[in-house]
Chains A and B, each alone.
Chain A
Amino acid sequence: GQNIDQPTEMTATEGAIVQINCTYQTSGFNGLFWYQQHAGEAPTFLSYNVLDGLEEKGRFSSFLSRSKGYSYLLLKELQMKDSASYLCAVVASGGSYIPTFGRGTSLIVHP
């Protein structure tokens, strides 16, 4: 089985930087995804990490350490529209590569 843990809620100020952590325990690993989800909408893809290290994409960066079972999503220059739920999802290896989603972190950006 898999266990994924991320904070339930975070708040931050517009223009600031926020880091959302995700820890996981899995019997096999084939990558970790971060998604953004606004209320009432489907998740949108942010990043995919399968190797250790930092992946930077504009204002968003994602980091992975497989040995520690740890990832974080870094959001820079926060904007009000970044207020959303951020989902960490781990894909197990073997078979159909079944994804397991964390509970999501609700990020509130205030002026």
Chain B
Amino acid sequence: GAVVSQHPSWVICKSGTSVKIECRSLDFQATTMFWYRQFPKQSLMLMATSNEGSKATYEQGVEKDKFLINHASLTLSTLTVTSAHPEDSSFYICSARAKLSGSPREYFGPGTRLTVT
């Protein structure tokens, strides 16, 4: 149980275009989803916290107009990278926290590798 999927697993796009990444909790309802970015040989950097039905909370230094997050339901959150540039190339990982679990444990998706050319 507690499986989180991400789609796509990898994507290549041209500079200036937008890319949408989906994060789904497959067998549980998630009150909170987190979006992370990870550059090579670095740790996870939290970008934003997404709660169902409310606006995402962005970490300092993360542009909310560039990284649009929509938490449409208790099983789906999307991250849209708008007007992507090569410096946005990174490994994007989502995680979900189960509703009513009483635990702060996160279940991670497999990640999406974005390459902007």
Binding site for B on A (CB under 8 A): 30-31, 33, 40-45, 48, 87, 91, 96-104, 106
B residues lining the A interface (CB < 8 Å): 32, 34, 41-46, 49, 51, 57, 91, 93, 97, 103-111, 113
| Candidates A42, A45, A104; contact of B43 at CB < 8 Å | A104
Q: A48-B103, A91-B104, A97-B104 given as contacts; is B109 within 8 A of A42 (CB)?
A: yes
Taking A99-B34, A104-B42 as given, write out 11 further A-B residue pairs in contact, using a Cβ cutoff of 8 Å, ordered by the A residue number: A33-B105, A33-B106, A41-B110, A42-B93, A42-B108, A42-B110, A42-B111, A43-B44, A45-B107, A48-B103, A100-B46
Are B105 and A48 closer than 8 Å at their CB atoms?
yes
A-B contacts, CB under 8 A, total: 48
Chain B residues whose CB sits within 8 angstroms of the CB of A97 once the complex forms: 97, 104
How far is it, in angstroms, between the C-alpha of A31 and the C-alpha of B49 when the chains are bound? 18
Please name all residues of chain B whose beta carbon is closer than 8 Å to the beta carbon of A42 when the two chains form the complex: 93, 108-111
Separation of A42 and B45 alpha carbons in the complex (Å): 13
Give the distance to chain A from B3, nearest Cβ to Cβ, in Å.
Answer: 12
Q: List 19 A-B contacts (CB under 8 A).
A: A30-B104, A31-B104, A40-B91, A42-B108, A42-B109, A42-B111, A43-B44, A44-B108, A87-B43, A87-B44, A91-B104, A97-B104, A98-B49, A101-B45, A101-B46, A102-B43, A103-B42, A103-B43, A104-B43
